[in-house]
Every structure is written in structure tokens, then in C-alpha cells.
Structure 1
Amino acid sequence: MAYTRGNLAVKPKPIERVSPGYREQTKVVTRRTSIPIREKLLYLFTVLLCVALASLVIWRYAHIYELNKHSQKTSAVISSNTVKISQLEVQRQTLKEKIVETALKEGYVLPEEESVIHVPRVSSSNDVTGNLKADTAQK
């Protein structure tokens, strides 16, 4: 049985094919052509436009935030100044009342309701010093 190829007396055995564990497959690889330059530029300008608009919106929001902070600081200063003004008004009122009491203790007299106080009008500062010298010379 060693010689089977040319001997017709031997019945040929069918060859069994053993299938391997995997099947070879061929893939068709198609290369895409590159994007044309005009289309690339269109995409680039679209992206740049979107970035510019986004940065403009962000800048405006930052400016609005800054204005709000400034407004809040100004409101805080106004409220603190209002408190100080009310305190000073109370202090002024108490001092106004104390002036009359202090003047009476010092010996000053309250003017009558209908009495008129006349103060002479001086035309220049030389007249004032001249009048003072004349007054001191008379004494």
C-alpha cells in the first residue's frame, strides 16, 4: 500500500479535508480621499466664528458680573453712610439742645422774640483794622 499513485489496482481513498479553526477572510480596504481645501477652510472659519461668539458672550457676562459687584459695593457704602448720617443727626440734635443750656449757665440771655440785632456792614478788611485801631486808641 505504499505505492498508490500509479497503481490502478488499489482503490483510492477519498481525501478528507480538515477544516482549520479559522477561516481566512479578505477585506477590501478603500482609502478615502482627503477633504478638499475649500471644505477645510469652511470648517476652520466655522469653528473660529463659534469660538469668537462664545468668547464675546463670556466677555459680556464677565462685564455684567463686574458691574453687579460694583453696584453691590456702592449699595453697601450708601447704607453705611446712611447709618452714619442718622447718628450724626442725633448728635447734632443733642448738641443743639445743650447749646441753650450751656449758654444760660454761662450767663447769656435769650433774645426777645421781636428784638432786632443790628450788625454794621464793613466794606473792606482795611476798614476793620482801621476801626479796631481807632477803638483801641480811644480807650
Structure 2
Amino acid sequence: MAYMRGNLAVKEKSSERVSQRYRETTKVVTRRSPLPMKEKLVAILTVMVCVAIAGLIIWRYALIYDLNMQIQNADRNITDMKQQVTLLQLQKQKLEDRIAEEAVSLGYVTSDGQQVIDVSPRMDGTTAEESTSKKSVSSSVAQK
């Protein structure tokens, strides 16, 4: 408390009002210093390495996904082909059965298994029996 005109019991009115209205506050402001160039480069390189590794991992997963899709397509194709093979085998069996019936209806007879018939074609389109008969005819004509 301040000393006023020799009387210490008197309150000073103006000094208390000012102290009540205004309160003095202090604010500490700290400024960040910028990062040195080496630290910036290290941070950038670290981020770039992490991005490269993540990209590599994602690329490998994409390749694995593509291989799995190709395997699934191949499996699908295999099952389709198996179904086609069974249908064609059934059709072949039906045709084989029908050939015997057609041969009988056309008047062919089945061999007893002891007769051997050679029907190998020659280069000129004739069979072996025809060529031997032609040779014998031509040789007999030449002798006359």
C-alpha cells in the first residue's frame, strides 16, 4: 500500500480499480527453428523408401492375384474339356455300335478272324492286289 499524505489508514481507490480491471498476463512465445538440411533429406529418403517397399509389396500381390485368376480360368477350361470329352466318347460309342448295324443292313458279313485281308494303299492309289494283277497282265502281254 502506498503512503498518502501522511495517513496510512486511507485506502487508495484508483490503484485498486486499475488492478481489478486489468490483469497483467505474460505469454511465452517459442519459435521453432527450421530443420537442418540433412534431417530433411533423411526424412524424405525414409518416406521414399517406405513408399517404394509398399509399392513393391502391392505389385507382388497384384501378380499373385493375376496368377490365381489364370489358375481358376484354367481349372474352368479343364472341367469344360472333360465334359466335352465324355460327351464325345459317348457319341463315339454310339457310332461304333451303329457301324455294325449299318454293315449288316448293307449285306456285309463279319470275318471269322482267320481270314487275313491286306488292303494297304499304294502311292498311285491302287491296292496291293490290284497292282500285282496289273503287273501279271502287263508281263503276259509283253511276252506275247
TM-score normalised by length of structure 2 = 0.74
Gaps of 5+ in 1: 135-139
Q: Give the deviation of 1:118 after TM superposition.
A: 2.1
Whole-Å Cα distance in 2 between the matches of residues 27 and 20 of structure 1? 19
For residue 87 of structure 2, what is the aligned residue in structure 1?
87
Letter in 2 for 1:33: S
Whole-Å Cα distance in 1 between the matches of residues 28 and 81 of structure 2? 82
For residue 137 of structure 1, what is the aligned residue in structure 2?
none
Larger RCO: 1 or 2 (CA < 8 Å, sep 6+): 2
Q: Give the deviation of 1:113 after TM superposition.
A: 1.1
For residue 140 of structure 2, what is the aligned residue in structure 1?
none
Whole-Å Cα distance in 2 between the matches of residues 39 and 27 of structure 1? 30
Gaps of 5+ in 2: 135-144
Q: Are residue 97 (structure 1) and residue 97 (structure 2) matched?
A: yes
Whole-Å Cα distance in 2 between the matches of residues 58 and 24 of structure 1? 59
Q: Are residue 28 (structure 1) and residue 25 (structure 2) matched?
A: no
Identity fraction in percent = 38
Q: Which 4+ residue blocks in structure 1 deviate beyond 4 angstroms? A: none
**SS at the partner of 1:50?**
helix
Whole-Å Cα distance in 2 between the matches of residues 11 and 29 of structure 1? 41
Structure 1 vs Structure 2 CA RMSD: 2.9
Q: 1:120 to 1:71 in 2, by over 3 A?
A: closer
